[in-house]
Amino acid sequence: MTGVVTAVSRSPTHTMAKPNEGSITLVAGLGVDGDAHQGVTVKHRSRVAKDPTVPNLRQVHLIHGELHDELRAAGFVLAPGQMGENVTTRGIDLLGLPTGTRLHLGSAAIVEVTGLRNPCRQLNGLQPGLMAATLDRDADGNLVRKAGIMGIVLAGGKIRPGDEVTVELPPAPHHALEPV
C-alpha cells in the first residue's frame, strides 16, 4: 500500500493551525524539528498538566487529504495544516491502519503509528461545528474519530510534498487504533 505526502506543516508555538512548509525534518525519538510538540515526553498542554513525564506518543500528527475533501463537501473551508497536522497524505486509509504500522515517508523517515487523534473543541475555534464533523458513528453505534492519526519517529529524515508514503504493517494479530 502506498500513498503520497501532499503537505507538511509545523509550528514552534502551541497553535491549532500549522503553516505549510516546503519540507520538514523528522528527528528520531523526538518528532518534527521546530514543532511545539517535539519531545520525548508529552507536549500537549492538557496532557502536560496531568503528567509531564508521560512518553510522547503524539510526536507527529497525520491527516488524510480525503478528510479535507469530505469536510469541504460539508461546507467547511480548510487547508492542510489548519487542523494541527504535520503531514497531510493522500491514497492511504490512515484510520484503518493497525497500531504499530510503520509509515516510510520519503527516502529515510519512518513513523510508527501509535493511535488516533481525539478531536478537541479547539477545532470549533477554526469553524463552528468542525469538531462534530470529525466524529461519526459506525453501523454498531461506536464513535469513529476521523481527525487523523498520531505517531512516533523511529528514523529521522526530511520529507516534502510529493514524497511517497509506503505502509509496512506489523505482524499479526493486528489491533485497531485507539485514541492516544
Instruction: Kindly report, residue by residue over 124-135, the tens digit of the pLDDT.
Output: 999 999 999 999
pLDDT, position 133 = 97
Which residues, 6+ apart, have CB-to-CB distance to 171 below 8 Å?
A: none
DSSP state at residue 170 = P
- Residue 120: pLDDT over 90: no
Which of 8, 121, 138, 97 shows the shortest CA–CA distance to 60? Answer: 8
Ranges of beta strands (E only) in 81-172 are 87-90, 102-105, 109-116, 135-137, 143-145, 149-155, 157-159, 164-168
Look at the alpha carbons of 12, 47, 39, 68 in this order and tell me if their dihedral is positive or negative: negative
Report the amino acid identity of residue 57: L
Report the amino acid identity of residue 15: T
Tell me how many degrees the CA angle 90-83-131 measures, rounded to the nearest 5: 110
Determine the average pLDDT of the residues in 131-147.
96
Determine the average pLDDT of the residues in 110-139.
95
Determine the average pLDDT of the residues in 41-46.
88
Determine the average pLDDT of the residues in 67-85.
96
pLDDT band at 31 (very low <50, low <70, confident <90, very high): very high
pLDDT band at 65 (very low <50, low <70, confident <90, very high): very high
pLDDT digit string (tens) for 145-161? Answer: 999 999 999 999 999 99
| Domains of the chain with CATH codes | 2-168 (2.40.33.20)
Which residue has cell 464533523? 133
pLDDT, position 1 = 85
- Residue 168: pLDDT over 90: yes
pTM of this prediction exceeds 0.75: yes
pLDDT band at 77 (very low <50, low <70, confident <90, very high): very high
pLDDT band at 47 (very low <50, low <70, confident <90, very high): confident
- Strand-strand pairing, 87-90 and 60-64: parallel
Determine the average pLDDT of the residues in 44-73.
94
Please answer whether residues 39 and 8 qualify as being in contact, where contact means their C-beta atoms are separated by less than 8 angstroms.
no
pLDDT, position 46 = 84
